[in-house]
Amino acid sequence: MKLVHVVGTRPNFVKMAPVIAALRAADPDGRHVLVHTGQHYDRMMSGIFLEQLGVPEPDHMLGVGSGSHAAQLGGVLEAIAPVLTAEEPDLVIVPGDVNSTLAAALACAHLRIPLAHVEAGLRSFDRTMPEEVNRVLTDQVSDLLFTHSPEAAINLAAEGVPGERVHLVGNTMIDSLVALEDRFRGIGACSAHGLEAGSYLLVTLHRPALVDGPLLGAAIDALAAVSESMPVVFPVHPRTRAALGERAGRLPEGLMLTDPVGYLDFLSLEADARAALTDSGGIQEETTYLGVPCFTLRDNTERPITIEHGTNHLLGLDPERIAEVPGLVAAAGRGPVDPPPLWDGRAAERLAAVVTGIHAT
Ligand code: UD1
Ligand code: UDP
């Protein structure tokens, strides 16, 4: 088989590393080509993930970089089409819901190359988010749809996707976490901030609806107030850093803003947190696996399984609700809970079995 794997952003590396490894193991004589679109490019948003997750050097670096949605979609589409034409793969595999994902998917549709989508069928039903549009359209042009929770198949059926294309394999992002569990459990990254495990709130915020407007200032004020009773560690996404500007320099001692941290350090901070406050998709899932209470500063989630599981709580897109977090944290349980079915570290293995099985017939 000749497979092309497409990555481009921080969460993509985490979702695809186990898929690439499992397909290489299942088809050692095949050719496995890695394309990095370059949507994320800072070392702490890209290179460190490839290293820590043991992903081989990309074969093609498209270098698309930052820009408007139009520039990113157009840039990836234009750059990836000749690569796919030259490589002539049997299958292209794309993860998640970022602009790089949709652009690669459209290129496959135009070139009539079979496409597989990892993390298919998630829906927030909120088309004001570019990710929702990217998900719906990528699923429409995919030949193989790999899902991680049962509601995805219902969402896909409602959009007319034939059931035989859909395969429930589990959560490949959790595969990465499980594979590195022995390593990150021993790090104790919180001690670098003078903190003890179980004592602090871990925060990440990067959605445009929150950080590209006035809500970000209100969120920082609310976090400053929370930090008087509970230390706050906030690794800041570059989008958020740009939006914060000079505000980031005038903060109380208990509100610790840092640059984005590498994957192992982040998992350590996450596993040892008393709770997390986030608008990230991946962090809603990882806290579910880790049994850490998660408060999601959004009006909706495409990951309802994390709510049903009991770890994730939707606060709404309302920074004022951050004031409630210390009380909610005190009331929330913490500790081992069984993860959702198939969030067990073996999703990529099941995915590879489907791909190789179909190719063999
Ligand atoms: C993108 C995804 C989002 C995902 C997030 C993961 C889309 C539409 N959005 O959002 O779904 O949750 O990645 O982190 O695809 N920047 C840097 N260095 C980098 C990368 C970005 O400085 O390595 C800055 C640039 O100023 C850039 C901004 O961050 O304009 C936003 O980057 P972009 O990739 O456009 O969107 P994200 O907010 O990262
Ligand atoms: N992450 C990380 N360092 C950070 C913030 C996040 O390693 O400073 C990891 C996190 O463990 C998860 C992924 O990045 O695996 C989530 O990415 P992000 O929140 O950027 O994107 P989303 O999941 O919202 O698309």
88: left (phi over 0), alpha (psi -120 to 50) or beta: left
Residue 307 in this model has a pLDDT that exceeds 90: yes
When pLDDT is cut at 50, 70 and 90, the band that residue 248 belongs to is confident
For a pocket test of ligand 1, which of 68, 98, 297 has the largest count of ligand atoms closer than 8 A to its C-beta? 98
Residue 26 in this model has a pLDDT that exceeds 70: yes
User: Facing residues of 6 across strands?
Assistant: 35
When pLDDT is cut at 50, 70 and 90, the band that residue 358 belongs to is confident
The rounded Cα 27 to chain-centroid distance in angstroms is 26
Q: Give me the percent of the chain exceeding a pLDDT of 70.
A: 99
Residue 244 in this model has a pLDDT that exceeds 70: yes
Residue 334 has what pLDDT? Answer: 63
- Protein residue closest via CA to atom 24 of ligand 2: 280
Residue 313 in this model has a pLDDT that exceeds 80: yes
What is 228-287 written as a DSSP string?
TTS-EEEEPPHHHHHHHGGGGGS--TTEEEE----HHHHHHHHHT-SEEEE--HHHHHHH
Residue 250 has what pLDDT? Answer: 84
Against a cut of 0.85, is the pTM above it? yes
Residue 11 has what pLDDT? Answer: 98
For a pocket test of ligand 2, which of 48, 55, 148, 204 has the largest count of ligand atoms closer than 8 A to its C-beta? 204
Residue 280 in this model has a pLDDT that exceeds 70: yes
Tell me the average pLDDT of the chain. 96
Residue 89 in this model has a pLDDT that exceeds 80: yes
Question: Which of the ligands is closest to the CA of residue 13?
Answer: 2
DSSP tag of 186:
T
